[in-house]
Structure 1
Amino acid sequence: MSDLPVARSAALAGAAVGLRYFAALAELPRELKSDGSVVTEADRAVESAIREVLGEARPDDAVLGEEAGQTGGGSRRWIVDPIDGTALFVAGDDRWLVLVALEEAGEIVVGVAVVPAQGRIWWAQRGSGAFEADISGASLVNERRISVAGRDQECLAGSRFGVIPTDVELSESERELIAPLSAMATIVPWSVHAALLVAGGQLDLTVQVRGQVWDYAATKLIVEEAGGRFSGLDGQPRPTPGPALFACSAALHAAALQILTNGRD
């Protein structure tokens, strides 16, 4: 089995576990990590299910997961965010994701994003484009290739702008970070992770104001393979901790990055 089917199988296995916990939220205890973010037994169970699939299919590869850290070594590393958006998950919001990516020799080459409670999946493989499908039982249906809108767009005024996390979760400093951009672009609510809407042409820009490698690895590749651009606010295209920018075109990405970084000076 090639790497993409392995990634999809792992993400879907995790999604199935996550859905079982999501159906019984009232019984799910919440804990706080040292950084103040929420974690639950569901996060750990989903990651365990993903690791089990990866361990069977690719026993020699390293795995980096948000909950269990890194195991193994070598030039190939799977990057796992078992429940991206745990705050959404525990609130009963259906926008939480399961994210699985493969990094090879420092480059993200496979990315999968599942929104289990909506029955939707996105994926990309380096050089092969980005795709979306619906999940029906154990099958994927209505598979379609996706692409960004406005490849040559460079005007920030009136562009459609998504902000992650949701507005109510932003700190004052995070609001200040996006203020120069939100003064020019139109903030649009998102029904699924806003970076995926950039990939599908429903948004032009997304700023994720905080995140780690596992938050960005899969969505970065999906956006790039759909024709868009990704970087941290330092302009580096590799996923690293901190805020990040997704855009539908190189020109719009450059314009937004300049506005955001000038605002931080």
Structure 2
Amino acid sequence: MTGDFSEDLRFARDLADMAHVISLERYRALDLAVETKPDRSPVTDADRAVEQALRAAIREERPDDAVFGEEFGGELQKGRQWIIDPIDATANFLRGVPIWGTLIALAVDDDPVVGVVSAPALGRRWWAARGEGAWLVENGAAPRRLAVSAVRELADASFSYNDLQYWRGAGKTEQLLALADSVWRTRAYGDFWSYMMVAEGSVDLVAEFGPQIYDLAALAPIIEEAGGRISSTTGERIFTARDALVSNGLLHERAVAAIGD
């Protein structure tokens, strides 16, 4: 997919600014309202308020674009569509853990071409648009262009994964343990942060079971523009399989083989 998405990226960053105002006001609020969704994941009043505000802004500024969000749904469709996770890592948000953020993507014909991952409690924002590189701003400093690591061997790799229960549910516990034994370092940083550290070059490999389209769409342009690769755990570049594998590209096929064994 080629094209100039610079104005869409600017708009996505404006949306992230809007989200921050709402989410930071509710972060660690004593009256934060928390409910449990049918899938047993938590949702707060902040999740819903952020998504409602972003949807309203998109309707005003991009009235012909579709929207799909975690809290208020929608239909995945061709053409231009914004994909939103208003607060990724809601469990962290409601417990006062600072690893949470807003994920905003623009997909064109099912292909994510713009991504913004914004984590205000960490003071970090990552972004990318197709053909324009991947970038990080930390605590208001000048933007820094991102590049994945050059690690070529699993034995030298830093590997991050999500909760063990998802691997167990997928019947992949043995593969996780074998992969963990084959790498240099294993951590469960979790959520968007694992993926962004691949783009930064500080983590080499991430594999997860359980993520949804709104967990992945904004990550894809950032990872790919940084030189990495994102796919399902079977190696296909799809975002609806409820699993994900991200790497610096050099380790990807070996990780696919390890998880599939």
Match of 1:7 among 3, 9, 12: 12
Structure 1: 5+ residue stretches without partners: none
Letter in 1 for 2:7: S
Q: Does 1:244 align with 2:244?
A: yes
Q: Percent identity?
A: 37
- Residue 196 of structure 1: CA displacement? 0.3
Letter in 2 for 1:19: L
> What is the alpha-carbon distance in structure 2 between the residues aligned to residue 202 and residue 73 of structure 1?
34
**Aligned partners of 2:77 and 2:110 also within 8 Å:** no
Say whether 1:37 aligns with 2:41: yes
Question: Structure 1 residues 38 and 171 mapped into 2: Cα distance closer, same or farther (>3 Å)?
Answer: farther
The one-letter amino acid of 1:239's match is F
C-alpha displacement at 1:93, in angstroms? Answer: 0.4
- Give 2:82's aligned residue: 78
Q: CA 1:86–1:122 in 2, change beyond 3 Å: closer, same or farther? A: same
Deviations, residues 62-110 of structure 1 (Å, cap 9, x unaligned): 0000001117966100000001101111111000110000001221110
Distance 1:100 1:40 in 2: 18
Letter in 2 for 1:118: L
**Counterpart AA for 2:27:** F
Provide closer, same or farther for how the CA distance between residues 14 and 245 of structure 1 changes in structure 2, counting only shifts above 3 A.
same
Q: 1:134 to 1:75 in 2, by over 3 A?
A: same
| Residue 3 (structure 2) aligns with | none
**Cα contact 1:99–1:111 (8 A) shared by 2:** yes
Q: Tell whether 2:134 aligns with 1:111.
A: no
The number of aligned residues is: 252
> 2:253 — aligned with what?
254
Is the 1:198–1:223 Cα contact (8 Å) retained in structure 2?
yes
| CA distance, structure 2, for counterparts of residue 79 and residue 261 of structure 1 | 29
1:232 paired residue number: 232
The equivalent of 1:52 in structure 2 is 56
Q: TM-score, normalised by structure 2?
A: 0.89
* Corresponding residue to 2:152 among 154, 162, 167: 154
1:182-206, CA deviations, whole angstroms, 9 ceiling, x for partnerless residues?
1212213539711000000100001
**1:100 is the counterpart of 2:108:** no
Between the aligned partners of 1:114 and 1:3, the Cα distance in structure 2 is 16
**Residue 22 of structure 2: aligned partner:** 17
Equivalent in the alignment of 2:94 = 90
TM-score (norm 1): 0.88
- Give the corresponding residue for 2:130: 126
Structure 1 stretch 177-186 or stretch 75-84: which is displaced more? 177-186
Query: Which amino acid is the alignment partner of residue 223 of structure 1?
Result: I
